[in-house]
């Protein structure tokens, strides 16, 4: 029996990358999982297929978490199918890097609306489905929150906001037995890393050269940490911001 048997989890932005790995690891630990996606239904369906092929339970639910109507529908569907929620992983996010002179209101709002407002909206609705036994909210932030980099002022600001929200909500939701923690990944080898041309770049090699463990991360490096935060093993852990980056420091 897995550590999360009988639990229900929603993972936002779970059609690929870190979110997909988290969804699959939560299911492997016994949770029934809602695989949320904004655009890639095909990707979400693949994640669901991977989970069910191994005997797990999962459904795919569309929703852009930056839109209140979509968020409401996401959790209404969760309630309809599973009747409750125990674990919420706020993974959905976007990043864009621009120098100061190129920043526009569109660039700003595109990232803040999803990375910050979307996280708040999802948490607002998600905690309504958590019972008196409480639950776990896991926010996927980034190493660039506490360790901001050049040309990432807006993105770094969104992730610093996520970490601040994590600490604030841990205090607000603690009396309801809802734990709130944040994971700050370093560079992770995802589809986006390859699409952006970073996977085989001098930038990647520079990161690896300055990382004590000598490599960039894989999605499962974050997923296993998320499972810990979701599990009873982390029953007295809340309000924590944990950098998962192979020991890298700025």
- 6-43: per-residue pLDDT in tens? 999 999 999 999 999 999 999 999 999 999 999 999 99
Measuring CA to CA, how many Å separate 233 from each of 28, 94, 236?
16, 30, 8
Q: State the CB neighbour count (10 A cutoff) for residue 4.
A: 24
List of domains in the chain: 8-242 (3.40.50.720)
Catalytic residue among 37, 82, 95, 155: 155
Exposed e or buried b for every residue in 208-239, given b needs 16+ CB within 10 A?
eeebeeeebbebebbbebbbbbbbeebeeebb
DSSP H helix total and E strand total for the chain: 9, 7
Q: Is the pTM of this model over 0.75?
A: yes
Taking alpha carbons only, the member of 164, 87, 95 closest to residue 122 is 87
Q: How confident is residue 190, by pLDDT bands cut at 50, 70 and 90? A: confident
Question: Over the stretch 155-181, which tens digit does the pLDDT of each residue have?
Answer: 999 999 999 999 999 999 999 999 999
Strand order of the β-sheet with 87-90 is: 57-62, 32-37, 8-11, 87-90, 135-140, 178-185, 241-244
- Tell the residue number behind the tokens 């906001």, with chain if given: 161
Task: Establish whether 37 is a catalytic residue.
Answer: no
Neighbours of 186 (CB within 10 A): 21
Tokens of 51: 């989970």
């Amino acid at each position: 029996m897995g550590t999360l048997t009988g639990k229900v989890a929603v993972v936002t932005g779970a059609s690929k990358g870190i979110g997909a790995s988290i969804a699959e690891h939560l299911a492997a630990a016994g949770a029934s999982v809602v695989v949320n996606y904004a655009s890639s239904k095909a990707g979400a369906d693949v994640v669901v297929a991977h989970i069910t092929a191994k005997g797990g339970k999962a459904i795919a639910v569309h929703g852009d978490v930056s839109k209140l109507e979509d968020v409401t529908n996401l959790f209404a569907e969760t309630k309809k199918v599973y009747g409750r929620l125990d674990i919420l992983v706020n993974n959905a996010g976007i990043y864009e890097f621009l120098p100061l002179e190129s920043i526009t209101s569109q660039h700003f709002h595109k990232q803040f609306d999803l990375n910050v407002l979307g996280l708040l909206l999802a948490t607002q609705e998600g905690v309504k489905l958590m019972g008196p036994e409480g639950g776990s909210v896991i926010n996927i932030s980034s190493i660039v929150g506490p360790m901001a980099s050049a040309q990432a002022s807006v993105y770094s600001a969104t992730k610093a906001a996520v970490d601040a929200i994590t600490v604030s909500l841990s205090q607000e939701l603690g009396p309801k037995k809802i734990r709130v923690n944040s994971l700050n990944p370093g560079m992770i080898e995802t589809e986006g890393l390859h699409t952006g041309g970073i996977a085989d770049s001098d930038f990647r090699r520079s990161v690896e050269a300055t990382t004590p463990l000598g490599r960039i991360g894989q999605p499962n490096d974050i997923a296993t940490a998320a499972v810990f935060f979701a599990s009873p093993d982390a029953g007295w852990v809340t309000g924590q911001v944990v950098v998962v980056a192979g020991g890298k420091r700025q």
